[in-house]
Chain A
């Protein structure tokens, strides 16, 4: 089975500073990777995806992610953090169910706290 790991339970950053939320993956074949964000008491929202092509993927709300095949990483980044970016962030990877259909496997999540 495919998997992703988010090594940090929480990331703290000051507003205006760059932020990075880490994700590493373990897959067989080419990875399809995703980032989602969850604000308090809300469902998850899609931020961005990597399927193929450029290693730097741009997404919603000024976020981007860098795919690094040699390091099997897909870190989420933003040049200048906002207090409103404070949320729970999930990395995810395309996986395969028993019947051969694709599913999405999530990491455990990283809480991002941006201080004023």
Chain B
């Protein structure tokens, strides 16, 4: 019973590099989302998906790309990393696409862009 698994846990990137943050869930949840957490700003929604093939932008989508080809996986791509993307990234999943109930969060990826 793994829940939501995020990899890697830590990553250092150079400005301009690209990378993919992985998120996988084994609960057959229809709804998955990506948040970033910055000091004093809480969690801000980047992108979310309500099912395979369906994604939408959140509050801070610029510089990030997502796709949802399977129910289980929801990777987050940084196209050209910038220091402003230094943050802790959380993936979450839920069974309720219309209620936002009881999200299950991964343990996070701490990203530093130098």
Contact = CB atoms under 8 A, between A and B. Distances in A.
Interface stretch (A39-47, A65-73, A78-86): A39-47
Interface in B21-54: 33, 35, 40-45, 48, 50
Interface residues of A, number: 28
A102 B100 contact: yes
Contacts, number: 75
A98 B90 CA distance: 21
Interface stretch (B12-20, B63-71, B72-80, B103-111): B103-111
A46 B103 contact: yes
Contacts of A102: 96-100
A101 B107 contact: no
B58 interface: yes
Given A34-B100, A101-B98, A103-B33, A43 B42 contact: no
Contacts of A90: 42-43
A34 to B, nearest CB: 7
Interface of B: 4, 33, 35, 40-45, 48, 50, 56-59, 90, 92, 96-108
